[in-house]
Amino acid sequence: FTPDRIRNFSIIAHIDHGKTTLSTKLLSLTGTLPEKIYGKQYLDKLQVEKERGITVKAQTCTMIYRNKEDGKDYLLNLIDTPGHVDFNYEVSRSLMACQGALLVVDAVQGVQAQTMANFYLALDAGLEVIPVINKIDLPTADVNRVKQELKDVFGFHPDDCVLVSAKTGIGIKDILPAVIERIPPPSSEGIKKTFKGLLFDSWFDRFRGVICLVKVVDGQIKRGEQIVAAGSGQVYEVFDCGIMHPEQKTTGALYTGQVGYITPGMKTSKEARVGDTFYIKDHPVEPLPGFQPAKQMVFAGVYPVDSLDYNPLKDSFEKLMLTDSSISISKENSVALGMGFRCGFLGLLHMDVVLQRLEQEYGQIVIATPPTVPYRCLLTSGEEKIISNPAEYPTPDVLDRTFEPMVKGFIVLPTEHFGAIVKLCMDSRGIQQNHETLEGGRIRLTFSFPLAEIVTDFYDNLKRVSSGYASLDYEDNGYAESDVVKVRILLNGEEVDSLSAIVHRSKAQNFARSLVKRLKNVVERQMFQVNIQAAAGGDILSRETISAMRKDVTAKCYGGDITRRRKLLDKQKEGKKRMKSMGCVELSQEGFLKLMKSS
């Protein structure tokens, strides 16, 4: 296949608009999917993805398609992209390998926040975008309104929209001819040049080791050749290469414009740095512009429920990180929870997915502390520190100023929820920056938010106040100075490190009150009085007490004589005093779990 008969494209969509259904349909139309697994939505491989109905890891597939127009066979590379707000990083890296994209829009819901975010990512990557209106079989589908919207928002000509139902198959046959006709083939300039490949995805296979997905930009690569990863200078041998059809199918060589896999015998997927350039040993080339590595924006402590399980948890993390290199972990110790890890995730959904994978794929049930964002702390000494664990937040005497990460949030909402959503945004310390009216009684708002507000329960609240109709997308927007305080939780004067939190001063009081109340419900009653306090600096923001349990030691003495009863009671009092002076209360892990669930 010469480049003029290759097309590399992605499908981009807001979640639930039908990307997976459409991909599956295209694969079965081209006979790429064997009959027996057809319908199981092959592209969503990971178990969690299936359950949550989201694609986390981009899966790529090659189809061979005979074009009716010229009777020729084409090699079509479908590069799948995840569709969720946390995963822009994965989306942009997949787009780098394409020349075009199908923008799938639900015929009922119309343009949503991630439709826009994905469209702009595709535009930035210089792709030819084909609008596809899906679910036209639904009785409530409003194709004309959505066409108008696509015109107003992105400038598409209504005649350019492909109308389909991925479910029933209506219109599906029009898609691939449009791909061939409208999406440009990869450049053929490099055919005669020496090999240059873009590494755009990788994963770990239990049997074959690290598998790299590459796009051949120039030249060709054959099995047995020695290649160099430009980033590290490391030399590898190409043990195998081929196309994804739909699993690895060996071809022994990959040519200019093709997308396929290479198994280079790397030990860990960390060596496969996405965005890196491969070239033939002794034939160096100018590396392709790399792109930004994944940035962890949400951190949490992750602990085994049983502290004996620390090593098994560590093993599981290491295995999981072979398939997901966007997680970071470091060792962490907590007085209450024992030994565990401080983990960095791309976002909240990513954190959820990772914890769920730990449980489902590795049988690790863990306790996670509330998520926090990385703060930049400027110390009075002039030193700067990034703090992603509240327990390590500098004390006021050495801290000069703190900066918190900001995001630019885009919300698409129906007009009738405007008031409630603006209020929610303001309560989340949002500052409105833009307001656009869209077709179909909808509005697109742009707000600047502290990321910390978004990672708590903003997304759930947004769905709640809009009955599920509003959608959110956000992008990194640097750091801004912020007036935050560390709220510490004390049980009888002892700090529970894993419950410390960094909170904006305006919210500290409410935060403290609610946490202390919830704690009161989960801390077990003791033989002595328990004081629960939340403090910021030297101030106590909130307190509750749990009165001592009075075990009736006399109950056993039926009748008994009065002096014996008295003696026992006195003894009990003494015991109470002694325990009180020891003063320490343990928050059991079970209590901690209950507390996390009650939030």
Q: Is the peptide bond before 246 cis (omega within 30 degrees of 0)?
A: yes
Q: Which residue has the tokens 């007036």?
A: 483
CB of 112 to ligand GDP, least distance (A): 11
> 17: annotated binding-site residue?
yes
CB of 472 to ligand GDP, least distance (A): 16
In whole angstroms, give the CA distance from residue 77 to residue 6: 8
> 209: annotated binding-site residue?
no
Q: Choose between 83 and 390: whose C-beta lies nearer to ligand GDP.
A: 83
CB of 43 to ligand GDP, least distance (A): 8
**Contact (Cβ atoms closer than 8 angstroms) between residue 348 and residue 87:** no
Residues sharing a CB contact under 8 Å with residue 328, sequence separation 6 or more, in sequence order:
296, 343, 344
CB of 137 to ligand GDP, least distance (A): 5
Q: Choose between 81 and 364: whose C-beta lies nearer to ligand GDP.
A: 81
> 483: annotated binding-site residue?
no
CB of 15 to ligand GDP, least distance (A): 5
> 3: annotated binding-site residue?
no
Cα–Cα separations (whole angstroms), residue 219 to 194, 281, 427: 5, 14, 56
Q: Choose between 102 and 489: whose C-beta lies nearer to ligand GDP.
A: 102
> 2: annotated binding-site residue?
no
> 283: annotated binding-site residue?
no
Cα–Cα separations (whole angstroms), residue 235 to 185, 230, 232, 239, 368: 31, 9, 9, 13, 40
Q: Which residues share a beta bridge with 61? A: 78
> 80: annotated binding-site residue?
yes
Q: Choose between 41 and 325: whose C-beta lies nearer to ligand GDP.
A: 41
CB of 146 to ligand GDP, least distance (A): 13
* Dihedral, CA of residue 436, residue 477, residue 12 and residue 296, to nearest 10: -150
> 137: annotated binding-site residue?
yes
What is the residue type of 158? P
Cα–Cα separations (whole angstroms), residue 548 to 296, 319, 518, 580: 44, 47, 18, 10
**Contact (Cβ atoms closer than 8 angstroms) between residue 23 and residue 236:** no
> 135: annotated binding-site residue?
yes
Q: Which residues share a beta bridge with 436? A: 444
Q: Choose between 280 and 348: whose C-beta lies nearer to ligand GDP.
A: 348
Q: Which residue has the tokens 């097309």?
A: 7
CB of 52 to ligand GDP, least distance (A): 10
CB of 258 to ligand GDP, least distance (A): 26
Residue 441 CB burial class (10 angstroms; 0-12, 13-18, ≥19): exposed
Q: Choose between 52 and 222: whose C-beta lies nearer to ligand GDP.
A: 52
In whole angstroms, give the CA distance from residue 56 to residue 198: 21
Sites of contact with ligand GDP (CB under 6 A) = 13, 15-21, 53, 83, 134-135, 137-138, 165-167
Cα–Cα separations (whole angstroms), residue 286 to 257, 273, 279, 290: 18, 17, 9, 11
Q: Choose between 13 and 368: whose C-beta lies nearer to ligand GDP.
A: 13
Q: How many CA atoms lie within 13 A of 194 on its CB side?
A: 15
Q: Choose between 21 and 500: whose C-beta lies nearer to ligand GDP.
A: 21
Q: Choose between 43 and 183: whose C-beta lies nearer to ligand GDP.
A: 43
**Collapsed DSSP state (helix, strand, coil) of residue 131:** strand
> 257: annotated binding-site residue?
no
> 423: annotated binding-site residue?
no
Annotated binding-site residue numbers for GTP: 13-20, 80-84, 134-137
Annotated binding-site residue numbers: 13-20, 80-84, 134-137
